[in-house]
Amino acid sequence: MLVAVGSLALMGATLGTVLGVASRYLAVKSDPLEADLQALLPGSQCGQCGYVGCAPAAAALAKGEAPVTLCIPGGRAVAERLARRLGLEADLSGHEDAEPQYAVIDEKLCIGCLRCFQECTTDAIVGAAKQIHTVIADNCHGCAKCFQTCPTQAVSMHKIQINLADWHWQKPKLRSGLKTRRRH
Amino acid sequence: MKLFRIRGGVHPDYRKERTRENPIIALPMPRILCLPLKQHVGAAAKAVVTSGKRVKKGELLARASGAVSAPIHAPTSGYVVDIVDQTAPHPSGLPQKTIMLRSDGKDEWGELPAGIADPFTADPGEIDARVAAAGIVGLGGAAFPSAVKLGLRVGKTLDTLILNGAECEPYLTCDDRIMQEHAEEVVDGARIMAHALGLKRLIIAIETNKPQALDKIRAAAAPFAGVVVVGMPVRYPMGSERHLVKALTGLETPAGKLTADVGVVVHNVGTARAVHQAVRFGRPLISRVITVSGGALSEGRNIEVPLGTLVSDVVAFCGGFKNGTIPHRLISGGPMMGYPLPALDVPVIKGTGGILALTREEINEQTAGPCIRCGTCVTVCPCGLVPMEMAAFIRHDKLEAATKAGIRDCVSCGSCSYICPSHIPLVQYFNYAKGRLNALDRDQRKQERLRTLVEARMARIERQAQAKREAAARARVAKPPVVATNDAPAGDMKVSA
């Protein structure tokens, strides 16, 4: 009886010490929160948030240096998921999505230099050297890198128009008769 | 037949008296028809005609594209003026690709496929194909392609076909009139659909506020064994697919599933008539019966309208608006689940069940007050939800909480909005939330697609870099570095370089 209890207690103490030491000296430096946040971001490295890519943006989010609404192409959907992961009660009702855009190449001005093609992180631009390039609008996430790099200003950014399939009812507007109490 | 209880529901003022005794009359062929390429749930049809093409009545104008879609046929003979973006019969008022057809006044039929003489010995696949080729969609309002619904026999165990003649929406009487005037066609169409689905059991459900329709359908169904005609209690929303199934079979359709998952398929009576005409005579769906009513109209009528007829033509046929004034609200469908029309120059499409021009008194719009937690909306909700709680979540854009509270199970019947003593626009909140959730889903799918594109690009760049490194390594191994020496002739150097 004593032997059994004693040996188990000894094992527990030894292994516990080993685990404790290991957690101290073998700790992984990277923050798992950062990795989680990065997985929630679109991963297109577009830089619209002001950070170099999605990883630095995730790091800033984890440190609380950036707002959850930083990701422009991700819009409200990403903002909500980020807030949930960070455990924040983000009140997004006042947050308006930055209008999603897409790039269009003016064929009259395109000289087929391939510069925009190389910048595009989602391969939304189709083209070859000395051939007119074009944008697959569905794959464009509006980062405007091509817009900035084009030497002939052939690229223009356009707002995505709402079509019949994407339209939905707006939230009913509160009339003057209904007063809401704001709670924070 | 034993009926089961459904929960909730309301008893709105039905206001069907104005049109219920008016027989169906055919609208004189209008000069211009506007046929949107998408009049159904699913992918838009693809036009097979170009401007200037002469077409005969019943000729194909646009073919179905994709698994869930429906073709569109010419409702009369004439020529195609153009295919243009025109205001859709949709609350958004956004444009939609529309075929403009000018009638030549001859109304001359083109060549139609021969009818199937005995559909009850025909292969079910053949009937499906006929229904699909005729462009038939659910005429109860949802406009879901009927052939897809008939194809549900594959992979599901079905036992009952229910023909929905409940017509629980106020004002509407078009299904009532179809059942009274075309009872044989309706019963025949329903039996053809039951055969296509491989079902022996067919129930025709009609609310008891339509006694003449019940009598006519009973008489028409009497010779056939296995066809049961049931009078349903009058309550809104008895005509909702899920609630009709519950009331007749006691089976509850699980959240996010179809009624076919509990073995029941539901079709509308108008659809049954269209199937009868398509299978027996090869006629495509080119017209439908609509109810035109409302206090702002001079006359209420039930009219068989060629698809694509402009609402303004229909209104003119009913004597125009009273006193010539624009109505307070113009609605497509019923007052409970219909939607406002953006203009008068939009067409009647396959899913249009009625055109209502309502006065301010009929709408009785009131300013919303605060929720008094009376719980009436909870009592009337036929889906067992708590509307007041969901609306409170949605008001603060807590869509996730609203989803947990069951927003996806809401059928948007509007019973809660109708009954609310504080006039809170409850169902309007739910429609907003459902649209918003769908938009978020679409965004999410786009993000995922973009992520795979980015990953593919990264992989490609890595592969190219790797290939370059390998090629460089191979080049180093294959060719020892050339050491230029003074005694080598200059010409050799040029060749090797």
pLDDT, greater one: B78 or B397: B78
Distance from CA of B82 to the nearest CA of A (A): 21
Prediction ipTM score: 0.82
Task: Give the pLDDT score at A67.
Answer: 87
Rounded distance between C-alpha atoms, residue A74 and residue B233, angstroms = 50
Say if CB A28 and CB A57 are below 8 A apart: no
Q: What is the mean pLDDT of residues A54-72?
A: 87
pLDDT at site A96: 59
Of the ranges A90-94, B169-173, B331-335, which one carries the lowest mean pLDDT score? A90-94
List the structure tokens of B436. Answer: 């918003």
From B369, B431, B434, residue closest to A177, measured CB to CB: B369
Provide CB contacts within 8 A for B211, sequence distance 6+: none
Show me where the domains of chain A are located: 32-86, 101-159
- The pLDDT value given to residue A183: 45
Does the pLDDT of residue A184 top 50, yes or no? no
**Residue B482 pLDDT > 70:** no
B38 has a chain A CB within 8 A of its CB: yes
The verdict on domain A32-86 having CATH code 1.10.1060 is no
Question: Is the four-CA dihedral B445, B450, B451, B457 of positive or negative sign?
Answer: positive
For residue B84, give Cα distances in angstroms to B50, B95, B97, B143, B314. 11, 9, 5, 23, 22
Task: With a cut of 80, say whether residue A90 has pLDDT above it.
Answer: no
Q: Is B496's pLDDT higher than 50?
A: no
Residue A142 C-alpha, separation from nearest chain B C-alpha, in angstroms: 12
Task: Please check whether the two domains, A32-86 and A101-159, share a CATH topology.
Answer: no
* Mean local confidence (pLDDT), B443-459: 88
* pLDDT of amino acid A85: 86
Counts for chain A of helices (H) and strands (E), in that order: 6, 4
Judged by CB atoms closer than 8 Å, whether chains meet at B435 and A167 is answered as yes
Q: Does A25 touch chain B (CB under 8 A)?
A: no
d(CA A48, CA B214): 65
Look at residue B497 and tell me whether its pLDDT is greater than 80: no
Average pLDDT along chain B: 92
Q: Which one is predicted more confidently, A20 or B1?
A: A20
Residue A128 forms contact with B (CB below 8 Å): no
Are B436 and A168 an interchain contact pair (Cβ–Cβ within 8 Å)?
A: yes
Chain A positions touching B390 (Cβ under 8 A) are none
Report residue A181's pLDDT band, with 50, 70 and 90 as the boundaries: very low
Position A135 confidence tier, pLDDT thresholds 50, 70, 90: very high
Read off the pLDDT of residues B150-168 as tens digits, 9 standing for 90 and up. Answer: 998 888 899 999 999 999 9
Identify the pLDDT of residue A104.
94
Output the pLDDT for position A45.
Answer: 80
Average pLDDT over residues A4-11: 96
- The answer, for B201 touching chain A at a CB cutoff of 8 Å, is no
Q: How confident is the model at residue A178 (pLDDT cuts 50, 70, 90)?
A: very low
Cα distances (angstroms) measured from residue A33 to each of A42, A51, A80, B444: 16, 18, 16, 21
Q: Between these two residues, B491 and B334, which has the higher pLDDT value?
A: B334
Closest-CA residue of chain A to B432: A169
**Dist. CA B201–CA B127, nearest whole Å:** 18
| Closest CA relative to residue B190, chosen from B178, B173, B208 | B178
Q: Are B161 and B202 in contact (CB under 8 A)?
A: yes
Question: Are A77 and B428 in contact (CB < 8 Å)?
Answer: no
Answer whether B392 touches A (CB < 8 Å). no
Q: Residue B288 above 70 pLDDT?
A: yes
> Would you call A167 and B432 a contact, using CB atoms and an 8 Å cutoff?
no
When pLDDT is averaged across residues B10-28 and rounded to a whole number, the result is 95
Specify the pLDDT at position B488: 46
- How far from the centroid of its chain's Cα atoms is residue B134's Cα? 16
**Record: fold of A101-159:** Alpha-Beta Plaits (3.30.70)
Q: What is the pLDDT of residue B444?
A: 85
Find the range with the poorest average confidence among A177-181, B221-225, B239-243, B408-412. A177-181
Enter the DSSP assignment of B333. S
pLDDT in tens, B253-272: 999 899 999 999 999 999 99
